C-alpha cells in the first residue's frame, strides 16, 4: 500500500487532476508521511515562475515568499504582491460587497433566491488586484471585522516541526501587523 | 457406454480458483482445480472438471455421461458488476424518486472498515447500475402504504395518485429510444400493493412487443415483494443488470456439458442455499453462493452425518475469515445483505467476514509500537517468500517452518524462506526491537486472537455459548491455523476434513433442491384481542402462504417436479408491537386455524428473542406484530455419500510418515511430517506433527493430537 | 440547586470509596485531572510500558474492547421501536473508565465519547456513592438527559451501568440514543423548535437511578408514557440502551478475568494516552502552528410565536465565532469566548460537556479517525469558554433542548484547519462537509381520534452532500458529520409512522443548489410532503444547525462560493388534488412547486418560508411542506472551472444554462438533447466577467473607510445592532478585535 505521496502524485494533486483511485491511496495514509511537505514544496517550486524564495502556500493562488531584500510577503501566482504576510492579505486586495437581494441572487442560485438574508449579512468577494482571480469569499454581518483565514507561525514551524530553522528567524515574524495597517488608514482619515 | 457408474459433480467457481468436487455412488471422491476464467467461465468449468476426471482416472466425456447432476455455483454476476459489463437498464419508477438509483440511500460506507467508515472523505457511491437519469422515467402514481396505526387510518391500498398510463407508454418508448435493453419497474409500496406495477408492466410489454424487440420487463414485486424501496430497487437492478447475463453464462456451460453427453439440466446454488434449475426466474438470488456452499457442507456433514445441531463454520482463505453459525440445525439467513456497496433485499445465508488470512500484509508502526494486519492481502502472491512486495502472514508460516517451502500447492509453487526471513528481520524485528522468531509468533497470536474474537463476537451477539458448539474449520488455510483458534477457546469439539481445500464445492453438491418465498405482511396483535380476533388478525398471512404455495407448485412444475414431489416448511417474522426489527422463527402448522396456532407462533418468536436479549429487553405487554411469512418448497434430490469406513486402529502405517522438520513453535521443536492421503480412519496422529496434502497443511502442536473417525473427519483434541 | 452549591453541602466522605485502593469516585477524578495537568499526559503516562512490553497483546486487548462495543450496538439497536435508533443508528455504546473517559466506542453517535466524562463527573458530584439515599451498586441503571449535567441536548438520553470487579468500580457501560420526542411544552419532537426556558424544553432530568439488578423500574416506563408524545418508542429505546449495557458489562468482566484487573486498569489508560499521542502526531504531520479564525451565526425569529410577555418574544441572532490556534507543542486551542451571551430567544444553550461533544464532529472525520475513538482528544484540545455566554451559561434555567447546535459551527472549525492543511500539502483531505439537520417533527390526531407523534430523520437529516475538494467536485448524499454511517432511510419505513404525510419526492438532486467554484460543492436535495386527510396535524422543522439566512458555515474555500443552510417552505390551500384528478404531473420538490406556481399550474393560498428552523404550523389536506436540504461550498474561483465539468453538470441536470452563464461565464447549447460548450463565446464571456470585477471592485482601504463610517453611525439592522451591543460590551476578546479593526475609541459602545 502507498506509504507516501510520490512527486508525480503530488503534481496531479496540486493541479487538481488526480484520479479518484489515486487520491484514495493518499487518503489512506494515516498519519500523513513525514516527507509530505518537502515533496509538496519541490512540486510548487518547479511551478513557481518568480525568483523569490517560496516559504509556504496559503491558498489556491497565494504564497508566502521571502524576497531578495529579506522581507516576507504574500504573493499571487500571477506575480502580484500583497505586502507583509503579517497583515491580513485581504486588506491589500480588491473587494466587491454584495448587499442587495439582486446582487446576492446572482451567485446564490437556488430557488427561491432569497438567501442569505440581506438584512443580516453581506457577501464580501476578495479579488487579486493583479489577475482579478477570486481568492476569498466571506459572509458576515455589516461591520464585522475582516476574517483572517490563516496566519502561520512560520519560524516555529520550520524550527520546531521541520527541524530546519530559517536563517532569518526573528520573534516578531509572528506578530499581527493588521492593526498597524488599519491604524495608518485611520491616521490618514483623521489627518484629513 | 463402458461403465454405468453415476456421479455427482459440484463446482465452486471463486474469484481465483474453480474447484470441482466429484463423487461416485460409493462415496469415493476427488477434487479438481483450475484458474477461474472470468471472460469465459465455461472454459474454466471444463478445465476444472477435466482435472477431477483425470485424477479419478476417467475421461471428461465419461464424467459428463455418468453425471446424475451437475451443480455450478459461479461468480458470473459478481464479475459482471465488478467489471461493469451488465445490461443497459431502463427504469420506470414513482415520480419524485428518479434519483434513488444514484444516491444509494446515502449508504456510502458499506463494506468499509471501522477506520474508513470514520474517515468520511473516503465515502463514495458504488458504480452505477443505471447509466444516467435519461434511463429513469418518473411515473405519476402513488398508493398509501401500510401504517403503524393500522385500523386508525386509511387502508394500505388507498390510491392517492392514479397510475398515469400515458406516461408509462411514453416512458417505455423513450427508454427504448435511448437504447435500454432491459426495463425494470419499481413503485412505492408495491411489495404490498402491486396493482400499479402489474398494470405498468402490461403496458410496457405491449410497447416492447409492438416494436418486435426482445427486451425483458421486470417488476420489483415479482423479484422481491419485500418492504424498503431502496433495497428492493437494488435487487431489481441487479436482476436486470447482471441476472440476464448470468443465465446466459450458465446456458453456455450447460450446452458444453450436454455436448459431451450430460443428459440433464444444469443446476446452480442460490445465496440462501437452495439448488435450482438455471432457468430459475429470480436468478439474481445466486449473486453470492460460493461461501454458502461451505455452510451447506458443514450442515450436511455435521448435522446430517454426525448428528450435531450447533456448529460454527469457519473458512480461512488468503484474505478473509468467514464465520457462519448453524444453531439448532438451522442455517442463519440475513435478509438485507450488502453486495459490492449495494444493500439488497435478498435472503442470504448469513456469513460474517473479517480481513484475516494467510495472505494478509503485516503493518508495523514503530512510533506507537503497534502491529496490525491487513486489509491488503497478497492473494496468490503469498508474500515476500514468493511474489508479493510486503511481509505477510504467509511469510511467517514459511519462516517458522509450519509451511514446507517445497510442498507449496504440492510443489507447483517454489517459495523462498530465506527472502522472507530477511524481510521479517528488517520490517518486523528491527522496528519493534526483538527476536524475529518470537515476534513472528506474536504476529500469529494476533491473527489467531482476531479470528477467535470474531467467532466469540459472532456467537455472543446471537446469544450463543461457544461450549455448546462444534467448530469445523476449512478452506485452504483452515487446517494450517486451526491450532491457533482452538488454543485459547473451548468448544464442544473441533474438527476439519481432508478435503477442506475444496469444502465449499463439496457443500454445493449437498445443497437441497428448493424454492424459498417471502412476503411482507403486517398483522398486529395488541394484548386486548379475543381469541377470535387473534385468528382474524392473521388471515392475511394464511392468504399469503396459500398464494406462495400455488406459485411454488407452478414454478417447480415448470422445472419438471410434479406436486407430489413437493413438500413445504413455513416460517414467520415477528416483533413486539412497536419494534422496528423482526425476528424469524419456524412455524410448523403454516396456517392459523385456532387461537392456539397464533399462540404457538408467538411462543416461537419469544423463544428466538430470548436467546439474544436480556429480560430487560422483553415486552410482552406491548402485544405483537407479525411482519413477514416465508415458505420453503422442497423436492428430494440425490445426495453425495460420505463413505463410512472400518476403523483400522490408531497407529498410522509406516509409509504415511514423510520425515521430520524443525518448527519454531514458540521455541524450536521437531515436528513429524505425515502424508494426508496415506492416513486411515481410526489413525491417531500426536503432536508435534504436521500433516501435508497437495492443497493444504494441518498443524498439530505438541499438546494436541488428531483422530480420523470412520468418515475421515479429523477431530482435533488436547492430550 | 447548582452542583457547585450541592458539593459544598455534602457531608465529608468517610466511607471507603468504590474505586481502586478505596478511592472515592470524586477522588479518582480529581487525581486524573491533577496528574494529567501536571504531566501533559493522560493519567501521567509519560511512557506506555504495556505497549512497549507486548504490542501484540495490547492490540489484541484493544480489539476485544472495541468489538465488544460494536457488537453491543449492532445487537441492541434492534430492540428499539424508533426508526431513529434502529434503522438510523442514532445511538452509541461506550466502555468508560471509572472516571468517565471513554476508552473505546461503537460506531454511531461518536461525539458522545467526549461528553461521557462530564456525565460521570456529575454522578460523582451528586455523591451517588456516599449518599445513602442514592448508592452505587452492581446492576444499578442510571439515566440522564439534561445537558446541564454534561450532554449535548435533551433528546440524547444516556444510560450508564457501573461495572464492578471484586467490589472495585473498574468501568462503566454507557449507552446513548436520540429519542423521538422529549415532551416539549411549545413544540413537539426530539429537538423542539421553540422552548423559552427549561420549563418548556420538555422532560429533562439529572442522573436518575431508574433501575436495579439490571431491571428497569416500572415507574420509569410510566414516566416516558406520560411525559412524552412517543412513549412506546422511548420505552423501547430505554430497553435497547439497557440491553447493550448489560452485554458490555458481562463481556468486560470476561475480559478482566482473562487479562487480570491490574492489566485492565493500566491498559485502558494507556489506550487513551496512546490515542492522545496519535492525535498530537496527526496535528504535527497535517497542520501547522499559527492562528485561524471564522465566524458562525444563527437566526431565530420567535417574535409573536411565544406566549405574550415572554422575554423570548423577539428575533435573535446568535454570534458563534471560532478563534483557533495551534501552539508549538501541537496542542489545539479553540476559543468560543466571543459567543453571544446567555438569555432567552433561542434553545441552543449548552455547557462544557456538550461543547466538547460538538468538537468531535470536526476532529473525527478530519483528524482522528482510527482504530479506536475515545475521549483522548479532550486532552489535546483546550476549549476557552466565557462564563455567561450561551455556550457555558451560568443560569441553570436557560432553554437547552436543541443544544445540538454545538455541532453547528464545526463548519468553521473545518475551515480553520483546512488552510493549515493546504499549507502542508495535505490536499487530499481538504473538503468542507458542513453539518446540517433540519428535522421534520410531527404531532397529530388522526380522523379516527388516535394521537400520534414522530420525527422524520430520513427526510433530510440522514445524509449530507460533501464539499468541493482541491481536486474534485463534492457529491450529493454522501456523508453525515455526527454519525459516520450516513443513511437516508427507506420511505416505506418512515411512512409507517407518519400516516397522513405522503412523500411526493425525497432525495431528488436540485439544480443550481450548490456552492459554486473551480470545483463545486455537492448539490442539495430535499423532500416534499403532501398532506392526505390528516385530522389535526402540526409540522415543524427543527434543529437547523446552519441557517440559510447566513451562509457562513457552508462557506467555500479559497474563493469558492458558499452554499445554503436548509430552507423550509410550506404551501397551504393548494389545488394539488385537482391537478392529480386531471391526471397532470405534480411537483416533487420545493423548487418545482415554485416553478409550477410561476407557470400558473398550481394555485396556492399561502406560502410560508424559513431560512432555517420552522415553527410548528397546522397543515390540512392538500397542503405541501418541504425542505431544501443544505448543499456544500465550492473551492476556488468559478471562472477557473473546467468546461468539461460544466458540460457534465448540464447533462446530469445539476446546473441550468442560465446559471452556468451567470456564474461561470460559459455559453452552452443543447445539441440533440446533449449540452455542448461554445468555447468562442465563452472566452468572450470570461473577459467580460473579469472586466465586470475590475469595474465593481474597490481597494480594501476605500471599502474600510465606507464600512467604518457605517459602524460609527451604528447603521445596522435591529438584530445586528443587538448582537454587537451584547458582544462588544460583554466579550473582552471580541471587543478587542472589533475596536482594533475599526480603530475605535476605548469607550466605544453600541
From the list C369, C450, C583, the residue facing B149 with the nearest CB is C450
The whole-angstrom distance between A24's CA and the closest CA on chain B is 7
The beta strand positions in C595-711, using DSSP E, are 604-610, 614-618, 624-628, 668-671, 674-677, 698-699
From the list B121, B376, B390, the residue facing A27 with the nearest CB is B121
C60 with B449: Cβ contact below 8 A: yes
For chain A, what is the radius of gyration of the CA atoms?
20
| Domain final position from C251, C277, C303 | C277
From the list C67, C79, C373, the residue facing B118 with the nearest CB is C373
From the list C286, C638, C699, the residue facing A31 with the nearest CB is C286
pLDDT < 50 regions, chain A: 192
Question: Is residue C243 in a domain?
Answer: yes
| Contact residues for B572 (Cβ-Cβ < 8 A; gap 6+) | B541, B584, B585, B587, B601, B604, B605, B626, B628, B629, B630
The answer to whether B109 contacts chain C (CB < 8 Å) is yes
C548 with A97: Cβ contact below 8 A: no
C contacts of A157 (beta carbons < 8 Å): 288-290
Residues C478 and C575 in one domain: yes
| Torsion angle (degrees, nearest 10) of CA C165, C170, C173, C174 | 150
A contacts of B376 (beta carbons < 8 Å): 1
The answer to whether A163 contacts chain C (CB < 8 Å) is no
Summarize pLDDT for B83-124 with one digit per residue, the tens. Answer: 788 999 999 999 999 999 999 999 999 878 778 888 989 999
Q: Which of residues 585-624 of C touch B (CB under 8 A)?
A: 585-586, 588-589
pLDDT at C554: 66
Q: What is the mean pLDDT of chain B?
A: 89
The answer to whether C188 contacts chain A (CB < 8 Å) is no
Q: A94-103, C409-418, C720-729: lowest mean pLDDT where?
A: C409-418
Q: Which of residues 482-521 of B touch C (CB under 8 A)?
A: none
Give residue A75's Cα distance to chain centre.
9
Q: Which of residues 351-410 of C touch A (CB under 8 A)?
A: 369-370
Output DSSP code: residue C654.
Answer: S
Confidence of residue C1 (pLDDT cuts 50, 70, 90): very low
Question: Is residue A66 in a domain?
Answer: no
Interface of A with B (CB under 8 A): 1, 20, 24, 27-28, 30
State the cell numbers at C242: 439497557
Q: Is the confidence at residue C15, as pLDDT, over 60?
A: no
**Sheet of strand C451-455, all strands in order from the earlier edge strand to the far edge:** C451-455, C439-445, C536-542, C614-618
pLDDT at C640: 98
C371 with B372: Cβ contact below 8 A: yes
Question: Is residue C380 in a domain?
Answer: no
pLDDT at B469: 93
B228 with C492: Cβ contact below 8 A: yes
Q: Round to whole Å and give the CA distance between B199 and B180.
A: 20
SS3 B476: coil
Backbone angles phi, psi at A64, to 5 degrees: -105, 125
Q: What is the mean pLDDT of chain C?
A: 91
B contacts of C48 (beta carbons < 8 Å): 369
**For residue B569, how many other CB atoms are within 10 A of its CB?**
15
Chain A's closest residue to C553, CA to CA, is A139
Q: Are strands B182-186 and B217-219 parallel, antiparallel or unpaired?
A: parallel
Summarize pLDDT for B680-696 with one digit per residue, the tens. Answer: 999 999 989 999 987 78
Confidence of residue B463 (pLDDT cuts 50, 70, 90): low
pLDDT at B428: 93
Question: Is residue C425 in a domain?
Answer: no
Residues C483 and C603 in one domain: yes
| Contact residues for C213 (Cβ-Cβ < 8 A; gap 6+) | C139
Q: Round to whole Å and give the CA distance between C222 and C207.
A: 18
Alpha helices, DSSP H, located in B270-429: 290-298, 393-400, 417-424
pLDDT at C6: 40
Q: Round to whole Å and give the CA distance between B202 and B55.
A: 53
B121 with A30: Cβ contact below 8 A: no
B contacts of C504 (beta carbons < 8 Å): 95-96, 142
Confidence of residue C553 (pLDDT cuts 50, 70, 90): low
Question: Is residue A2 in a domain?
Answer: yes
Helix H or strand E encompassing C405: none
Q: Round to whole Å and give the CA distance between C154 and C143.
A: 12
Residues C594 and C690 in one domain: no
Q: Are C493 and C87 in contact (CB under 8 A)?
A: yes
Q: B139-143, B403-407, C14-18, C735-739: lowest mean pLDDT where?
A: C14-18
The answer to whether B124 contacts chain C (CB < 8 Å) is yes
Q: Is the confidence at residue C552, as pLDDT, over 80?
A: no
**For residue C37, how many other CB atoms are within 10 A of its CB?**
10
State the cell numbers at C698: 474597490
Q: Is the confidence at residue B521, as pLDDT, over 70?
A: yes
From the list A107, A112, A178, the residue facing C609 with the nearest CB is A112
| Contact residues for B199 (Cβ-Cβ < 8 A; gap 6+) | B163, B165, B168
Q: Is the confidence at residue C2, as pLDDT, over 50?
A: no
B124 with A30: Cβ contact below 8 A: no
Q: Are B372 and B388 in contact (CB under 8 A)?
A: no
User: Which of C321, C423, C429, C690 would you mutate first to test chain A, the one with the most A CBs within 10 A?
Assistant: C423
Confidence of residue C704 (pLDDT cuts 50, 70, 90): very high
| Contact residues for B299 (Cβ-Cβ < 8 A; gap 6+) | B311, B326, B329, B331, B507, B510
Residues C632 and C524 in one domain: yes
Residue-number span of the structural domain to which A30 is assigned: 1-47
A contacts of B119 (beta carbons < 8 Å): 27, 30
Helix H or strand E encompassing C243: helix C231-259
Residue-number span of the structural domain to which C718 is assigned: 705-742
DSSP string of B110-168, one letter each residue: TT--HHHHH-GGG--PPPPSS--GGGEEEE--EE----TTTTTS--TT-EEE---HHHH
pLDDT at C64: 84
| Domain final position from C636, C657, C675 | C636
- Of the candidates B88, B101, B93, which has an alpha carbon nearest to the alpha carbon of residue B186? B93
Q: Are B149 and B127 in contact (CB under 8 A)?
A: no
Q: Which chains touch C (3 or more CB pairs under 8 A)?
A: A, B
Question: Is residue A18 in a domain?
Answer: yes
Q: What is the 3-state secondary structure (H, E, C) of C83-137?
A: HHHHCCCCEEEEEECCCCCEEEECCCCHHHHCCHHHHHHHHHHCCCCCCCCCCCC
Q: Which chains touch A (3 or more CB pairs under 8 A)?
A: B, C
State the cell numbers at A117: 438574508
Question: Is residue C371 in a domain?
Answer: no
C289 with A152: Cβ contact below 8 A: yes
Q: What are the residues facing C158 on neighbouring strands?
A: C144, C176
**For residue B636, how many other CB atoms are within 10 A of its CB?**
12
Summarize pLDDT for B125-139 with one digit per residue, the tens. Answer: 998 999 999 999 999
pLDDT at B462: 67
Mean pLDDT of the B568-573 span: 94
pLDDT at C4: 40
Considering its fold, how many domains does chain A have in total? 1
B580 with C493: Cβ contact below 8 A: yes
The whole-angstrom distance between C286's CA and the closest CA on chain A is 7
C639 with A133: Cβ contact below 8 A: yes
Q: Is the confidence at residue C212, as pLDDT, over 90?
A: yes
C contacts of B432 (beta carbons < 8 Å): 55
Mean pLDDT of the C675-693 span: 96
Summarize pLDDT for B271-313 with one digit per residue, the tens. Answer: 888 888 998 888 889 887 777 899 999 999 999 899 999 999 9
- Of the candidates C133, C380, C180, which has an alpha carbon nearest to the alpha carbon of residue C278? C380
Residues C545 and C690 in one domain: no
Question: Is residue C390 in a domain?
Answer: no
The region, left, alpha or beta by phi > 0 then psi within -120 to 50, assigned to residue C714 is left
Q: What are the residues facing C389 on neighbouring strands?
A: C341
Q: Round to whole Å and give the CA distance between C432 and C635.
A: 9
Amino acid at each position: 500500500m502507498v506509504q507516501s505521496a510520490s512527486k508525480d502524485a503530488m503534481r496531479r494533486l496540486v493541479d487538481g487532476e488526480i484520479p479518484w483511485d489515486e487520491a484514495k491511496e493518499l487518503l489512506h495514509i494515516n498519519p500523513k508521511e513525514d516527507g509530505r511537505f518537502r515533496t509538496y514544496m519541490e512540486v510548487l517550486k518547479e511551478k513557481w515562475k518568480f525568483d523569490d524564495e517560496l516559504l509556504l502556500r496559503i491558498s489556491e493562488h497565494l504564497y508566502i515568499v521571502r524576497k531578495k531584500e529579506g522581507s516576507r510577503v504574500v504573493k499571487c501566482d500571477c506575480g502580484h504582491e500583497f505586502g507583509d504576510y503579517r497583515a491580513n492579505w485581504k486588506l491589500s486586495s480588491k473587494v466587491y460587497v454584495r448587499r442587495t437581494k439582486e446582487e446576492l441572487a446572482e451567485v446564490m442560485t437556488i430557488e427561491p433566491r432569497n438567501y442569505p438574508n440581506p438584512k443580516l449579512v453581506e457577501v464580501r468577494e476578495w479579488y487579486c488586484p493583479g489577475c482579478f482571480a477570486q481568492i476569498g469569499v466571506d459572509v458576515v454581518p455589516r461591520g464585522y471585522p475582516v476574517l483572517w483565514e490563516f496566519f502561520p507561525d512560520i519560524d516555529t514551524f520550520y524550527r520546531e516541526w521541520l527541524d530546519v530553522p530559517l536563517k532569518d528567524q526573528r520573534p516578531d515574524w509572528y506578530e499581527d501587523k493588521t492593526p498597524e495597517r488599519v491604524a495608518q488608514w485611520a491616521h490618514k482619515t483623521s489627518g484629513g | 457406454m463402458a461403465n454405468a457408474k453415476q456421479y455427482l459433480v459440484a463446482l465452486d467457481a471463486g474469484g481465483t480458483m474453480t474447484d470441482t468436487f466429484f463423487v461416485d455412488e460409493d462415496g469415493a471422491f476427488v477434487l479438481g482445480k483450475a484458474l477461474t476464467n472470468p471472460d469465459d467461465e465455461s472454459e474454466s468449468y471444463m478445465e476444472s472438471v477435466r482435472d477431477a476426471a483425470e485424477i479419478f482416472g476417467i475421461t471428461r466425456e465419461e464424467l459428463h455421461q455418468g453425471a446424475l447432476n451437475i451443480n455450478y455455483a459461479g461468480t458470473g454476476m459478481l464479475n459482471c458488476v465488478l467489471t461493469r459489463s451488465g445490461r443497459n437498464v431502463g427504469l420506470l419508477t414513482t415520480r419524485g424518486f428518479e434519483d434513488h438509483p444514484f444516491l444509494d440511500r446515502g449508504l456510502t460506507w458499506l463494506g468499509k472498515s471501522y477506520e474508513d467508515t470514520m474517515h468520511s472523505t473516503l465515502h463514495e457511491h458504488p458504480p452505477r447500475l443505471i447509466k444516467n437519469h435519461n434511463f429513469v422515467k418518473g411515473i405519476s402514481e402513488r398508493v398509501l402504504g401500510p401504517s403503524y396505526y393500522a385500523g386508525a387510518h386509511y387502508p394500505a391500498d388507498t390510491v392517492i395518485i392514479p397510475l398515469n398510463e400515458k406516461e408509462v407508454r411514453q416512458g417505455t418508448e423513450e427508454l427504448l429510444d435511448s437504447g435500454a435493453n432491459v426495463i425494470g419497474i419499481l413503485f412505492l409500496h408495491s411489495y404490498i400493493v402491486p396493482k400499479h406495477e402489474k398494470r405498468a408492466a402490461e403496458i410496457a410489454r405491449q410497447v416492447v412487443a409492438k416494436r418486435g424487440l426482445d427486451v425483458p420487463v421486470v417488476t420489483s414485486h415479482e423479484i422481491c415483494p419485500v418492504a424498503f424501496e431502496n433495497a428492493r430497487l437494488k435487487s431489481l437492478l441487479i436482476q436486470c443488470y447482471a441476472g440476464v447475463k448470468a443465465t446466459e453464462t450458465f446456458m453456455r456451460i450447460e450446452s458444453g456439458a450436454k455436448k459431451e453427453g450430460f443428459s440433464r439440466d444444469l443446476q446452480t446454488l442460490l445465496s440462501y442455499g437452495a439448488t435450482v434449475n438455471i432457468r430459475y426466474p429470480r436468478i439474481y438470488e445466486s449473486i453470492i453462493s460460493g461461501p454458502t456452499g461451505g455452510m451447506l457442507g458443514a450442515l450436511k456433514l455435521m448435522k446430517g452425518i454426525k448428528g450435531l445441531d450447533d456448529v460454527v463454520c469457519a473458512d480461512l482463505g488468503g484474505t478473509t475469515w468467514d464465520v457462519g453459525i448453524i444453531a439448532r440445525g438451522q442455517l442463519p439467513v440475513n435478509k438485507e445483505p450488502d453486495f459490492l456497496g449495494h444493500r439488497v433485499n435478498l435472503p442470504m445465508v448469513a456469513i460474517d467476514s473479517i480481513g484475516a488470512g494467510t495472505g494478509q500484509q503485516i503493518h508495523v508502526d514503530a512510533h506507537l509500537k503497534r502491529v496490525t494486519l491487513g486489509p491488503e492481502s497478497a492473494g496468490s502472491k503469498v508474500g515476500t517468500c514468493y511474489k508479493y512486495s510486503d511481509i505477510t502472514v504467509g511469510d511467517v508460516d514459511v519462516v517458522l517452518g509450519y509451511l514446507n517451502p517445497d510442498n507449496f500447492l504440492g510443489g507447483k509453487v517454489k517459495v523462498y524462506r530465506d527472502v522472507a526471513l530477511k524481510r521479517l528481520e528488517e520490517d518486523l524485528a528491527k522496528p519493534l526491537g526483538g527476536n524475529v522468531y518470537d515476534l513472528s509468533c506474536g504476529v500469529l497470536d494476533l491473527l489467531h486472537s482476531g479470528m477467535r474474537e470474531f467467532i466469540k463476537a459472532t456467537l455472543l451477539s446471537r446469544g450463543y455459548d461457544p461450549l455448546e458448539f462444534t467448530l469445523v474449520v476449512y478452506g485452504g488455510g483452515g487446517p494450517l491455523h486451526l491450532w491457533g483458534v482452538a488454543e485459547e477457546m473451548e468448544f464442544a469439539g473441533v474438527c476439519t476434513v481432508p478435503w477442506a481445500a475444496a469444502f465449499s464445492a463439496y457443500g454445493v453438491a449437498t445443497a437441497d433442491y428448493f424454492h424459498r418465498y417471502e412476503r411482507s405482511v403486517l398483522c398486529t396483535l395488541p394484548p386486548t384481542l379475543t381469541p377470535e380476533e387473534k385468528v382474524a388478525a392473521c388471515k392475511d398471512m394464511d392468504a399469503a402462504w396459500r398464494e406462495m404455495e400455488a406459485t411454488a407448485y407452478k414454478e417447480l412444475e415448470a422445472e419438471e417436479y410434479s406436486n407430489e414431489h413437493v413438500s413445504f416448511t413455513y416460517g414467520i417474522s415477528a416483533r413486539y408491537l412497536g419494534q422496528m426489527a423482526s425476528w424469524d422463527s419456524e412455524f410448523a402448522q403454516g396456517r392459523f386455524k385456532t387461537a392456539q396456532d397464533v399462540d404457538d407462533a408467538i411462543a416461537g418468536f419469544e423463544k428466538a428473542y430470548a436467546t439474544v436479549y436480556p429480560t430487560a429487553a422483553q415486552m410482552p405487554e406491548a402485544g405483537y406484530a407479525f411482519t413477514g411469512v416465508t415458505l420453503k418448497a422442497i423436492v428430494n434430490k440425490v445426495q453425495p455419500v460420505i463413505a463410512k469406513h472400518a476403523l483400522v486402529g490408531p497407529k498410522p502405517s509406516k509409509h504415511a510418515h514423510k520425515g521430520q522438520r524443525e518448527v519454531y513453535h514458540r521455541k524450536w521443536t521437531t515436528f513429524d511430517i505425515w502424508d494426508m492421503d496415506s492416513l486411515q480412519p481410526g489413525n491417531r496422529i500426536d503432536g508435534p506433527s504436521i500433516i501435508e496434502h497437495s492443497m493444504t497443511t494441518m498443524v498439530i502442536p505438541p499438546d494436541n493430537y488428531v483422530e480420523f473417525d470412520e468418515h475421515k473427519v479429523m477431530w482435533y483434541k488436547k492430550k | 440547586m447548582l452542583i457547585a452549591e450541592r458539593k459544598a453541602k455534602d457531608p465529608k466522605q468517610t466511607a471507603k470509596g468504590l474505586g481502586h485502593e478505596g478511592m472515592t469516585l470524586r477522588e479518582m477524578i480529581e487525581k486524573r485531572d491533577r496528574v494529567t495537568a501536571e504531566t501533559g499526559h493522560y493519567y501521567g503516562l509519560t511512557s506506555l510500558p504495556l505497549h512497549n512490553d507486548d504490542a501484540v497483546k495490547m492490540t489484541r486487548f484493544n480489539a476485544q474492547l472495541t468489538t465488544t462495543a460494536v457488537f453491543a450496538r449492532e445487537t441492541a439497536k434492534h430492540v428499539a421501536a424508533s426508526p431513529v435508533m434502529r434503522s438510523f443508528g442514532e445511538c452509541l455504546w461506550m466502555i468508560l473508565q471509572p472516571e468517565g473517559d471513554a476508552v473505546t466506542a461503537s460506531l454511531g453517535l461518536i461525539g458522545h465519547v467526549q461528553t461521557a466524562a462530564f456525565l460521570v463527573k456529575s454522578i460523582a458530584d451528586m455523591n451517588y456513592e456516599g449518599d445513602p439515599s442514592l448508592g452505587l451498586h452492581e446492576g444499578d441503571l442510571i439515566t440522564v438527559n439534561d445537558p446541564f449535567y454534561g450532554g449535548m441536548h435533551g433528546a440524547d438520553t444516556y444510560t450508564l451501568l457501573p461495572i464492578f470487579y471484586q467490589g472495585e468500580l473498574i468501568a462503566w457501560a454507557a449507552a446513548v440514543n436520540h429519542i423521538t420526542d422529549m415532551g416539549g411544552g411549545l413544540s413537539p419532537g426530539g429537538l423542539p423548535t421553540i422552548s423559552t426556558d427549561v420549563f418548556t424544553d420538555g422532560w429533562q432530568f439529572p442522573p436518575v437511578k431508574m433501575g436495579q439488578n439490571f431491571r428497569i423500574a416500572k415507574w420509569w416506563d410510566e414516566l416516558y408514557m406520560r411525559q412524552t408524545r412517543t412513549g412506546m418508542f422511548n420505552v423501547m429505546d430505554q430497553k435497547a440502551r439497557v440491553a447493550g449495557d448489560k452485554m458490555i458489562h458481562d463481556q468486560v468482566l470476561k475480559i478482566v478475568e482473562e487479562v487480570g484487573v491490574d492489566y485492565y486498569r493500566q491498559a485502558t489508560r494507556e489506550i487513551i494516552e496512546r490515542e492522545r499521542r496519535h492525535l498530537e502526531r496527526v496535528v504535527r504531520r497535517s497542520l501547522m502552528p499559527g492562528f485561524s479564525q471564522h465566524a458562525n451565526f444563527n437566526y431565530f425569529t420567535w417574535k409573536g410565536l411565544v406566549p405574550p410577555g415572554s422575554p423570548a418574544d423577539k428575533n435573535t441572532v446568535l454570534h458563534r465565532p471560532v478563534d483557533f490556534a495551534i501552539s508549538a507543542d501541537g496542542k489545539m486551542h479553540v476559543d468560543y469566548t466571543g459567543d453571544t451571551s446567555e438569555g432567552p430567544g433561542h434553545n441552543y444553550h449548552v455547557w462544557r460537556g456538550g461543547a466538547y461533544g460538538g468538537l468531535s464532529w470536526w476532529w473525527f472525520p478530519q483528524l482522528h479517525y482510527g482504530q479506536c475513538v475515545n475521549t483522548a482528544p479532550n486532552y489535546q484540545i483546550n476549549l476557552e469558554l466565557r462564563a455567561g455566554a450561551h455556550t457555558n451559561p451560568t443560569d441553570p434555567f436557560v432553554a437547552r433542548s436543541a443544544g445540538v447546535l454545538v455541532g453547528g459551527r464545526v463548519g468553521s472549525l473545518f475551515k480553520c484547519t483546512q488552510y493549515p492543511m493546504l499549507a502542508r500539502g495535505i490536499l487530499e483531505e481538504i473538503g468542507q462537509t458542513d453539518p446540517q439537520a433540519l428535522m421534520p417533527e410531527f404531532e397529530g390526531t388522526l380522523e379516527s381520534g388516535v394521537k400520534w407523534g414522530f420525527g422524520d430523520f430520513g427526510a433530510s437529516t440522514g445524509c449530507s452532500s460533501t464539499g468541493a475538494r482541491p481536486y474534485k467536485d463534492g457529491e450529493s448524499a454522501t456523508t453525515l458529520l455526527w454519525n459516520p454511517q450516513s443513511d437516508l432511510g427507506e420511505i416505506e419505513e418512515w411512512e409507517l409512522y407518519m400516516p397522513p404525510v405522503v412523500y411526493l419526492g425525497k432525495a431528488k438532486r436540485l439544480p443550481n443548489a450548490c456552492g459554486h467554484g473551480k470545483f463545486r460543492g455537492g448539490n442539495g436535495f430535499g423532500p416534499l410532503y403532501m398532506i392526505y386527510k390528516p385530522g389535526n396535524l402540526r409540522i415543524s422543522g427543527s434543529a437547523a444547525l446552519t441557517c440559510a439566512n447566513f451562509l457562513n458555515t457552508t462557506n467555500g474555500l479559497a474563493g469558492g462560493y458558499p452554499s445554503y443552510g436548509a430552507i423550509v417552505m410550506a404551501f397551504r390551500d393548494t389545488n394539488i388534488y385537482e391537478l392529480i384528478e386531471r391526471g397532470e404531473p405534480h411537483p416533487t420538490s420545493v423548487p418545482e412547486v415554485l416553478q409550477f406556481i410561476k407557470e400558473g399550474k398550481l394555485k396556492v393560498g399561502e406560502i410560508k418560508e424559513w431560512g432555517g428552523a420552522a415553527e410548528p404550523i397546522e397543515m390540512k389536506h392538500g397542503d405541501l411542506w418541504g425542505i431544501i436540504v443544505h448543499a456544500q461550498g465550492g473551492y476556488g474561483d468559478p471562472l477557473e472551472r473546467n468546461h468539461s465539468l460544466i458540460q457534465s453538470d448540464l447533462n446530469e441536470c445539476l446546473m441550468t444554462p442560465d446559471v452556468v452563464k451567470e456564474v461561470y461565464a460559459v455559453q452552452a447549447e443543447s445539441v440533440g438533447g446533449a449540452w455542448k460548450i461554445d468555447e468562442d463565446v465563452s472566452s468572450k464571456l470570461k473577459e467580460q466577467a473579469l472586466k465586470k470585477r475590475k469595474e465593481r471592485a474597490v481597494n480594501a482601504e476605500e471599502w474600510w473607510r465606507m464600512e467604518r463610517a457605517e459602524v460609527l453611525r451604528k447603521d445596522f439592522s435591529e438584530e445586528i445592532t443587538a448582537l454587537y451591543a451584547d458582544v462588544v460590551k460583554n466579550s473582552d476578546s471580541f471587543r478587542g478585535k472589533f475596536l482594533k479593526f475599526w480603530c475605535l475609541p476605548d469607550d466605544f459602545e453600541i
